[in-house]
């Protein structure tokens, strides 16, 4: 897997190991507050961010103020130019995940492993921006979940299989598990949507993509994703079912002469973003 080449960029060890992602053509990422499709918003509510515990700040009246300061915004933590989209938003998440039962999440295998278990991370729902003009999320403490155990983690450098199943310490009762494909596989040219946390940002929903290659382990598409999107649910735009797990792709950012970095933009006809087929996650087949 590729790590960021640009020395200017500061990334977490998880993001560097994951390989990076990219923008194809126009940047289709949208904040929750800019999305009007109620169905997509419901899907977004069942996605979660994997956040190091130390980045979760203090409690005030059942709310959590994340430990946000200028060092943790996208511009400073990733070395991007101030003109880059979302540059001043917080970049807290290392990976993304999504709910498949009231106690289980699916994410990427390179995000968690069975040896180290849960690590010092929590899973956060509703890490999002839903108010106009407000770029600091305030998260309900009830939406922060500790990991009980890593049920299964697979990261195979030969087959490229990459997924993990995580069990939470308590049940999630205020949102529905996502529906996912249980047999067959997605077809080439099917439109897809990804929901997750690119570069650790608050929830982004990105459509405008399609499947371009499919094999037995994963498919490739021109999804607008970055490190931090690892573990994101990738949905069939027609059925709204989860088709797979975003796991790797091309380089996120490229350096500029100004000494900062901007998003790596490529043609919409090139697809390097890889998505593990959800049907390969046998541990959830009985859910």
Indicate whether 5 pLDDT > 50: no
Phi, psi of 156, rounded to the nearest 5 degrees: -110, 115
For the chain, domains (ranges, CATH) are 37-168 (2.40.10)
- The tens digit of pLDDT for each residue in 171-223 reads 999 999 999 999 999 999 999 999 999 999 999 999 999 999 999 999 999 99
Alpha-carbon distance 233 to 47, whole Å? 8
* pLDDT tens-digit series, residues 237-253: 999 999 999 999 878 88
Position 9 confidence tier, pLDDT thresholds 50, 70, 90: very low
Contact indicator for 172, 145 with CB cutoff of 8 Å: yes
CB atoms within 10 A of CB 234: 31
State how far the Cα of 124 lies from the Cα of 113, in Å rounded to an integer: 19
Mean pLDDT value across residues 69-96: 88
32-41, 71-80, 147-156: lowest mean pLDDT where?
71-80
Total count of residues recorded for the chain: 287
Q: Which two tokens stand for residue 154?
A: 């697979």
Question: Among all chains, which residue has been given the structure tokens 């200017």?
Answer: 8
**What is the band of 13 on the pLDDT scale with cuts at 50, 70, 90?**
very low
pLDDT at 114: 94
Helical spans, DSSP H, in 70-159: 74-78
CB 22 within 8 A of CB 264: yes
């Amino acid at each position: 897997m590729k790590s960021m080449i640009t020395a200017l960029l500061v990334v977490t060890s998880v993001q560097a190991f994951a390989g990076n992602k990219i923008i194809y053509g126009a940047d289709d990422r949208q904040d929750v507050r800019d999305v009007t499709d109620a169905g997509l918003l419901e899907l977004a509510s069942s996605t979660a961010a994997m956040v190091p515990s130390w980045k979760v700040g203090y409690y005030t009246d059942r709310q959590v103020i994340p430990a946000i300061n200028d060092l943790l915004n996208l511009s400073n933590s990733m070395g991007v130019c101030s003109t880059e989209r979302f540059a001043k938003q917080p970049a807290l998440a290392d990976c993304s995940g999504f709910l498949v039962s009231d106690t289980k999440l699916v994410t990427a295998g390179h995000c968690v492993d069975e040896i180290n278990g849960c690590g010092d991370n929590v899973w956060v729902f509703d890490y999002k921006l839903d108010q106009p003009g407000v770029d600091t999320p305030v998260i309900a403490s009830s939406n922060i979940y500790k990991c009980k155990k890593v049920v299964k983690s697979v990261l195979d450098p030969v087959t490229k299989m990459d997924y993990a199943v995580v069990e939470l310490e308590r049940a999630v009762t205020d949102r529905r598990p996502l529906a996912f494909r249980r047999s067959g596989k997605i077809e080439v040219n099917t439109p897809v949507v990804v929901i997750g946390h690119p570069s650790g940002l608050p929830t982004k929903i990105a459509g405008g993509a399609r499947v371009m290659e499919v094999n037995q382990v994963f498919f490739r598409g021109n999804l607008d994703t970055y490190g931090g999107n690892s573990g994101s649910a990738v949905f069939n735009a027609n059925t709204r079912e989860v088709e797979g797990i975003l796991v790797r792709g091309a380089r996120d950012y490229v350096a500029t002469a100004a000494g900062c970095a901007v998003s790596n933009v490529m043609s919409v006809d090139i697809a390097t973003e890889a998505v593990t087929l959800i049907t390969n996650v046998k541990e959830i087949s009985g859910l």
